[in-house]
Amino acid sequence: MKRAWVMEQPQAYKQKYLFGETETQTKPNKKFISVYRVSLVRDKGIKFGEGSLSSPKQAQRIMKSLIEVQGQPDREQFCILMLNAKNKIIGLNIVSTGDLSSATVHPREVLKPAILANSSSMILCHNHPSGSLTPSPEDIAITERIIKASRIMGITVHEHLIISMDDDSFYSFVEHGLI
């Protein structure tokens, strides 16, 4: 049975697949393909006297300051501290803002700012608004996924810190043998 076409319908075309079958599809209305420009935008800075780190405590201070100044300390925030090939600090980024007990984190979103900043390595960090510094099974699993993805991209993960916003305490994945 033949189908009658109404004048308002878009023109149809046939698409040929790899194995020779064809399928009639509606012709797309777009005449242009979008072109995207990827850029890194420098935001305001955070005061820190030194250009490099010598301890996890220094990284904790910087990340806590980032969350206090630009983040939301009452919510879980996942951040990265990016380093160049000489382990000098080149930038910070709040990757994800969650709720009171979790933040959704995907390795793609963690690596995006690190790649744009030409980072050679990074330190992962997130806060626990509850005050408990013990990593959850999800914290351990996402750290492992980020490390695997980072290796593929040639970016080293030196550390993952869980920090308290109430005081200067923190949990180091390296010091506890998780990295």
Structure tokens at 83: 């380093």
Q: CATH number for the 56-172 domain, one of 1.20.210.10, 2.30.40.10, 3.40.140.10, 3.30.365.10?
A: 3.40.140.10
* pLDDT of 179: 87
d(CA 126, CA 169): 13
d(CA 140, CA 16): 47
d(CA 51, CA 16): 58
| pLDDT 10s digits, 39-63 | 777 777 777 666 678 889 988 998 8
* pLDDT of 24: 58
Under the banding of pLDDT at 50, 70 and 90, the label for residue 73 is confident
d(CA 35, CA 32): 9
CB 159 within 8 A of CB 147: no
**Within the chain, what is the greatest distance between any pair of CA atoms?**
79
Break the chain into its structural domains and give their ranges. 56-172
Q: Rounded to two decimals, what is the model's pTM?
A: 0.74
81 contacts: CB under 8 Å, gap ≥ 6: 53, 59, 62, 63, 89, 91, 92, 122, 123, 125
pLDDT (average), residues 61-71:
87
Question: Residue 13: which region, alpha, beta or left (left: phi > 0; alpha: psi -120 to 50)?
Answer: beta
DSSP class of 102? -
DSSP class of 41? -
* pLDDT of 10: 54
* pLDDT of 20: 61
| pLDDT 10s digits, 110-165 | 999 999 999 999 999 999 988 889 999 999 999 999 999 999 999 999 999 999 98
pLDDT, the chain, mean: 83
* pLDDT of 98: 82
β-strand partners of 125 = 79, 161
Q: Which of 109, 106, 100, 150 is nearest to 128 (CA)?
A: 100
One-letter amino acid for residue 31 of the chain: K
* pLDDT of 13: 56
Which of these ranges, 33-37, 63-67, 146-150, has the smallest mean pLDDT?
33-37
Q: Three-state SS for 157?
A: strand
